Amino acid sequence: MHLLVKGTSGRLTGEALVPNSKYHAHRALILASLAPGVSRITGLSDARHVQYTVGLLRGLGTKIDIEGDTFIVHGGPYRPVRDSVSAGSSGTTLYFMIGLASLAETPVVVTGQKYFQRRPVGPLLRSLQQMGVELESADDCPPISVAAKRPTGGHVTIAGTLSQWISGLILLAPFATGRTVIEVEGELNEQPYIELTVEMMKQFGLIVKASPDWRRFEIEPDQQATPCDLIMPPDIGSAAFGIAAAALHPSDILLRGLHQLSGGPADHPEVHFLDVAREMGVPMELTDEGVRIRHDGIRLNPTKIDCRGIPDMLPILSVMGTFADGETTFSNIAHVRLKESDRVSAMLQLNQMGGDLDLDGDILRVRGVDGLVGAKLSSFNDHRVLMSLAVAASTARGESTLTYPNAYRISYPAYLEAMNGFGIPMSVEGGTPSKNERPQRTLPIQASRPDLAAKTTLSDWLARWAEERPDDLAVLDARPRATTKITWGELNQRVDVVASQLIKLGVQPGEPVALQLPNWTEFVIIALATMRIGAVCCPLMPIFREREIAFMLRRAKARVLFVPETFRGREYAAEISRLVDGDGVEPPEELKHVVVLPGDVQSGGDWVPGPVAWHDWNDLLSGEVDVEALAQRKPTPEQTAQLLFTSGTTGEPKGSLMTGGTLSRAASMEIKHLGLDASDAVYIPSPLAHQTGFLYGMWLAMELGVPQIIQAVWDPRRALAALREGNGSFVQAATPFLADLVKAVEAGEEAPPELRIFVATGAAVPRGLAERATRVLGTAVCGAFGTTETCLGALSAPTDEPVKVWGTDGRALDGIKLRITDDTGRVLAAGTEGNFEILSPTYFEGYLDRPDLTAEVYTADGWYKTGDLGVIDESGFIRITGRVKDVINRGGEKVPVAEIENLIYDHPSVDDVAVVAMPDERLGERACAFVVLKSGHSLGFEDMITYLDDRQVAKYYWPERLQLIDALPRNAAGKIQKFLLREQAKELRPQRIEGK
């Protein structure tokens, strides 16, 4: 479904009744419920959010009748009729009523709609607790249990971020047993809304003493509200859309019921909009019937707007600024980005229509244009964004569509009726739901229940899908010049064949089977076949060279290895042939069988049997299924299923062991957290040999029972084609993949229509990129943090506040705990930087043959030490600020700094060396080698590269700049002060970029 808006150039005529103010209605209803006796609130508001307030008050036992256009409220003590009351999706209702629920005669739980249960209210809860309210919340989000006990008052502090938080405290304070002083900390936003609260409280006999700057409130205790009859004024926030539409078209329209062109602060919190509209030149005339706007076509005047007073007006004023002669600026916009959506980012969609908007720090600049063209737009399920963009679309040439077409009902149910009455064609159209509104398909209960998923193996999932829907697509393999597909039935049959052949090769339960393969269908088959017989899948990154591969094969003691003959110019099979012959490296003596898969180019290699037996993949695949042998090798969730090597700071790769049950649990936790379902399709650009691709690509798709779209050679244009062909809706990958997709679409490629969630891993996604991706790709961008040893520990969700989704590395998944400690192990307060630690049910089993390293990563009380520095805010969102471990994060892959430094140090010309991160816009970081030369020696960049290449170091790990330096900075203890080198590296650029 979408909202279809047809541009019109005709004259707007007619009239519309301006609805009553929802701001006044919320406050009047709540205050009336607190006043023993009967209050009459005339001027019904049919805004959905007001209905949520009515519903919650009724749940607390307040009798509310409706006669004509009047609410009749029977106030008195709250006597809850049920244990739990819901604020629905109304933030105002939630923020006002959490504290007031403490006045009930019995305990009550305040909750909200499912997605609303992710809304963090930690700062408000802390302030309520300062006032003496007894409450509990598992994660600083609804549901919130509130004890039946009057607050005690006292000195209370609250951030000035949200006026509703401050109003919630002010509304409760008169009913405390002691005097209350409320002080606002930081910048104060939305002051007019607080003024309205205080003014309306006065109407009900409740006195609040406010300081002149509205940052300190003194409230005496034991006050008693008295009934009051009130008439609700018109809602200027709703009238704004009619005023804007009339300003942008030749018009003769009447906004009936609007009886002011300006007003005092308490008249309406958005009354300043009228002053701004007049400054911009809107010809408004006050009549006995309302406000009339009549003209034959005008250009508006540019202006300057401070958004702290009227933040909710930015969307519609930015539309008006698009038709002004000059530049309109919006300052102090940070708060606007914390609303139902990031409204600043959302309104940048006007650029897709031909507008001229850009962000400049905390300022939004809007330059006037001659006209707009129709476009496909997203409303982000935000009522003000939807209605504002629809007004803009009414001026455009052609048609425009907007997602979440019914969002306007939240605040202005008569919006479509009013716009069509003026002559602007707007309609909600049916058809196939958009990617954000599509119906969910039911998942098996095991997939969304981590505790049950942990009892399920990947073989169980494969068998289920092969039986239930054998002809459905399982894998789409997007090769550079062709696409191949296999169904669940075909996948299951090939897995059985390869599993049988592995048994014939002597592979035993618990034995690693190594595969150094790109993202090909064969990788999926071999991995599943390995785990089908209880063996351990040991993926090796294709970027690894002989030196790394030899070490990993020796450590794993793998007897079977799968490699391509060739891939991207490298002759893998020939490299392995030299490796087993001991050419330059210590050979892996346990290796007995090498299976060679057809490469992208045939090399014609002929490998003579010697230390190993060579096998052709096609011969292996033509074997028979040994049903009896497979039946005897059924795996269990408790068995080790994965051996994944990860580079660290110890100078050698470490083999991380995971059980199948743990991996299934981890995948299920993400499914639950993000609301993934059987309608999704998982796109996997990350290497399947990396945990991101293996677990949150292949394994995740297997649990969901949905197609996995794999791509071995990264090319953003090919990626977009694969996403479109496979209806890809979910991606988890490093930030550079996201950046490249955005650039490709901005360059003219078609965006993938079904892509709805992109989880950016490896490094925090830059906010600017997240904003662009949201607009350009139409996808939610979520930050995350995870390790090979713990799986995902933190993850944001599309329903989280935009500033949290884009500005952090996520929040703890259900069942996981996060903390920040100092170097002594003391847990630090929110907002303090320190050592980031995780307590999780998805821990690895340990490092292969290295119990010493395993013990080092755990604290005495069992928390995993990530080795990262971070800050956890009051809402529970983690932001990684640096790394304790000396590892460079290059596009999601970690460069083993200690190992590279040791190699460079051994160069005959090098006297000292330190490798640090050099910031990079695309990959996040690249490696820069600071080198001190021996006296009389020289070393160039190409010399260093040749040296590392001769030692078979993966190109991915090569430093991309050599910076010669006289001496490395060291402290008194002799430790290199790398932070000083990192500062120098910020000004440097790569000398050559390899291995993209």
Q: Which residues make up each annotated binding site for phosphoenolpyruvate? A: 22, 91, 119, 164, 343, 384
Backbone angles phi, psi at 612, to 5 degrees: -130, 160
Tell me how far apart the terminal alpha carbons of the chain are, to the nearest angstrom.
40
**Which residues does the annotation place in the binding site?**
22, 27, 91, 119, 163-164, 312, 339, 343, 384
Task: Report the alpha-carbon distance of residue 873 to residue 854 in Å, rounded.
Answer: 29
What 3-state class would DSSP assign to 60?
coil
Task: Report the alpha-carbon distance of residue 693 to residue 700 in Å, rounded.
Answer: 9
Integer angstrom CA distances of residue 890 from 860, 956, 994:
32, 8, 12
Asked if 208 and 223 touch (Cβ cutoff 8 Å), the reply is: no
Task: Report the alpha-carbon distance of residue 889 to residue 735 in Å, rounded.
Answer: 11
Looking at this protein, which amino acid is placed at residue 254? L
- 199-223 burial: b if 16+ Cβ within 10 Å, else e: bbbebbebebebeeebbebebbbeb
Strand order through the sheet with 37-42: 63-67, 70-75, 37-42, 229-231
Point out the catalytic residue in the list 312, 382, 677, 800.
Answer: 312
Asked if 197 and 206 touch (Cβ cutoff 8 Å), the reply is: no
- 136-151 burial: b if 16+ Cβ within 10 Å, else e: ebeebbbbbbbeeebb
Task: Report the alpha-carbon distance of residue 531 to residue 499 in Å, rounded.
Answer: 8
Phi-psi region of 216 (alpha: psi -120 to 50; beta: other; left: phi over 0): beta
Asked if 930 and 970 touch (Cβ cutoff 8 Å), the reply is: no
Task: Report the alpha-carbon distance of residue 96 to residue 171 in Å, rounded.
Answer: 7
Residue 51 burial (C-beta neighbours within 10 Å; 0-12, 13-18, 19+): middle
H/E segment holding residue 692: helix 691-693
- Helix residue ranges per DSSP H, 425-486: 445-448, 450-453, 458-468
Task: Give Cβ neighbours of residue 926 (< 8 Å, ≥ 6 apart).
Answer: 888, 890, 917, 918, 920, 959, 960, 961, 990, 993
Q: Is 800 a catalytic residue?
A: no
**Which residues does the annotation place in the binding site for 3-phosphoshikimate?**
22, 27, 163-164, 312, 339
Q: Retrieve residue 141's tokens.
A: 């989000």
Task: Report the alpha-carbon distance of residue 345 to residue 358 in Å, rounded.
Answer: 10
Task: Report the alpha-carbon distance of residue 52 to residue 87 in Å, rounded.
Answer: 6
* Residue linked to tokens 């993209």: 996
Name the nearest CA neighbour of 531 among 661, 708, 709, 691.
661
Name the nearest CA neighbour of 21 among 40, 49, 54, 45.
45
Task: Report the alpha-carbon distance of residue 777 to residue 756 in Å, rounded.
Answer: 9
* Residue linked to tokens 């809107």: 282
Backbone angles phi, psi at 304, to 5 degrees: -120, 130
| DSSP characters over 134-180 | -EE-SSSSS-EEE-S-----EEEEEESS-HHHHHHHHHHGGGSSS-E
Task: Report the alpha-carbon distance of residue 836 to residue 870 in Å, rounded.
Answer: 6
Task: Give Cβ neighbours of residue 287 (< 8 Å, ≥ 6 apart).
Answer: 254
Task: Give Cβ neighbours of residue 209 (< 8 Å, ≥ 6 apart).
Answer: 217, 218, 219
Residues written for the chain: 996
Catalytic center residues: 312
